[in-house]
Amino acid sequence: LITPYAQFDFKFHSPRTEKSFEVTFSRRSDSMPPEPEEVKHHPASLNQLLLKQLISNIPGKTPLVRFLTRELSNIDRALAERLIKELGENFSPTMPISELGLNEIRILDRLLKEARFGKPKGECLSPAGEYNLRLGIMKELRPDMVATHAESADAFEGHPFIVEAGVSLGGDNVRNGLSIYRFANRIPLLFEQGNDIVTKTAQDIPWGQYKISASADRIGVFCSIVSTKIPFKGTGKEYIGDDSLTIKQSVRKAIQSCCVQLKTKLARRAELKSRQDRSRNLKRYIPDVANAIMKFFESVKTPTVSAEYVRQMQTGTLTKEVLEKKLAQHVETSDRQNVVELGSIFGYVHEQAEFVHLAPRAETDMYSKPILLQVMPAGEGATQPPQVGIQFLESLRVNREKPGIEKVATEDNQVPSK
């Protein structure tokens, strides 16, 4: 799940041939996580022991102000001079660090913990990436829907951390309810799931607000926390405690962002199903309507307004089959107009909308429905280029007529682009 860019081959050879087997987890992605960069220590992450080590690693003649600005992050010269001033009369910017004794280091450590600094940057971290997480979920579970989100870097006790989350619906071998998958620095956490911060946060999510049933739907919750300091609980590092409010808030925001994406997809699916049901119901009555109209024209004795239709019926131009075809075309046209009206809610320009068909890729592949191609101009004074929106009138279906292959495809099963 967390390493779709790697391929694992496992081979077990037993003296009993029938017990030997091989398992291969194929690579799905060729995008590697970013390599971590070396960064300076954040002032809030220091302790007395680490301060001693940093001081001992540089020349003793180094001024204190230079030590603060060169060896620590998020401290410029102006801030360093303010900090030294708050340390007291026994400290000065030009004071050599070799004169810092145990008591001075204790005072400096206490001040660095009390002061406020900017958040550390996340360049020193190597998260799997939202793209890889999504591909891993799709590769292993094959869900009906999946949404992923990556939070921006935040800080916990001066250590940067990044939270990546994913939520899936359906899939292979997924039970009803919540299935939690936890990762810390791209390593799966397998034990003490009930006490983990991800489990407790996922259980507190109001799933009903996102049109998801926490008991009936098959929900997969995936959360990866990457940090230079993971707040594990216990000596076995089996779970992450929920006593960190900052990490808990980031986990909750990441999961809820995925839920918002799924809510939009579920609403779109319900809308498409309602439209298909409406079209199916209307087409069901087309033969009866066509038959009633033909009987009505036959019963007209002295036609006035309908004289032209009666004449076409008598000459054979207007038949029941022709009428059924016209009514079916009218139903499809009405469905297309509904799509355009829906697009007006988002500010689309109807005159610039165009229905296009996707060309088949092969004789056995055929796209059944057209799509609505919408050009949205940038507007006057806009810096963004014009955008092109594509809206499917129906879920994109690929009909494969080869034997042994079922008809498959929905827009949610497509591989996301990089």
CA dihedral of 364, 365, 366, 371, whole degrees rounded to 10: -170
**Is 75:112 a contact under the CB 8 Å cutoff?**
no
% of the chain at pLDDT higher than 70: 79
**Is 107:114 a contact under the CB 8 Å cutoff?**
no
The residue with tokens 């019926």 is 313
pLDDT of 282 > 60? The answer is: yes
b or e along 251-289 (b: 16 or more beta carbons within 10 Å of the residue's beta carbon)? bbebbbbbbebbeebbeebeebeebeeebeebeeebeee
Which backbone phi and psi does 295 adopt, to 5 degrees? -65, -35
Alpha-carbon distances, residue 178 vs 135, 166, 169, 195, 225 (angstroms): 20, 13, 10, 15, 19
pLDDT at 381: 45
pLDDT of 164 > 60? The answer is: yes
**Is 120:153 a contact under the CB 8 Å cutoff?**
yes
Three-state secondary-structure class, residue 389: strand
| 399 vs 320, higher pLDDT | 320
153 burial class (0-12, 13-18, 19+ CB within 10 angstroms)? buried
Q: What is the pLDDT of residues 31-71, one digit of tens each?
A: 888 888 888 888 888 888 888 888 888 888 888 888 888 88
* Identity of the amino acid at 116: R
b or e along 169-196 (b: 16 or more beta carbons within 10 Å of the residue's beta carbon)? bbbeebeeebbbbbbbbbeebeebeeeb
Alpha-carbon distances, residue 108 vs 77, 179, 378 (angstroms): 16, 46, 55
Q: What is the mean pLDDT of the chain?
A: 79
pLDDT level of residue 398 (50, 70, 90 thresholds) = very low
**Is 396:390 a contact under the CB 8 Å cutoff?**
no
| 407 vs 206, higher pLDDT | 206
Q: Which two tokens stand for residue 208?
A: 């009903």
Task: Look at strands 187-189 and 177-184 and give their pairing.
Answer: antiparallel
pLDDT level of residue 400 (50, 70, 90 thresholds) = very low
Task: Look at strands 218-227 and 159-169 and give their pairing.
Answer: antiparallel
pLDDT at 393: 46
Instruction: Please state the rounded mean pLDDT for residues 96-117.
Output: 85
pLDDT of 259 > 80? The answer is: yes
pLDDT at 120: 82
Q: What is the pLDDT of residues 67-90, one digit of tens each?
A: 888 888 888 888 888 888 888 888
pLDDT at 12: 95
Point out the least confidently predicted range of 175-179, 180-184, 411-415. Answer: 411-415
Instruction: Please state the rounded mean pLDDT for residues 392-397.
Output: 44
% of the chain at pLDDT higher than 90: 16
Instruction: Please state the rounded mean pLDDT for residues 6-19.
Output: 91
Q: Which two tokens stand for residue 33?
A: 């996580």
Bridge partners of 373, per DSSP, are 354, 390
pLDDT at 378: 46
Instruction: In whole angstroms, give the CA distance from residue 317 to residue 321.
Output: 10
| 414 vs 332, higher pLDDT | 332
DSSP string, 102-152: HHHHHHHHHHHHHS--PPPPSTT-----HHHHHHHHHHHH--SEEEEEEPP
* Identity of the amino acid at 397: R
The residue with tokens 């298909």 is 276
b or e along 333-367 (b: 16 or more beta carbons within 10 Å of the residue's beta carbon)? eebeeebeeebeeeebeeeebeeeeeeeeeeeeeb
Q: What is the pLDDT of residues 316-372, one digit of tens each?
A: 788 888 888 888 888 877 766 665 555 544 444 444 555 555 555 555 555 544 555
Point out the least confidently predicted range of 185-189, 307-311, 345-349, 414-418. Answer: 414-418
Instruction: In whole angstroms, give the CA distance from residue 372 to residue 367.
Output: 14
Q: Please list the alpha-helical segments (H only) found in 285-319.
A: 286-299, 307-315
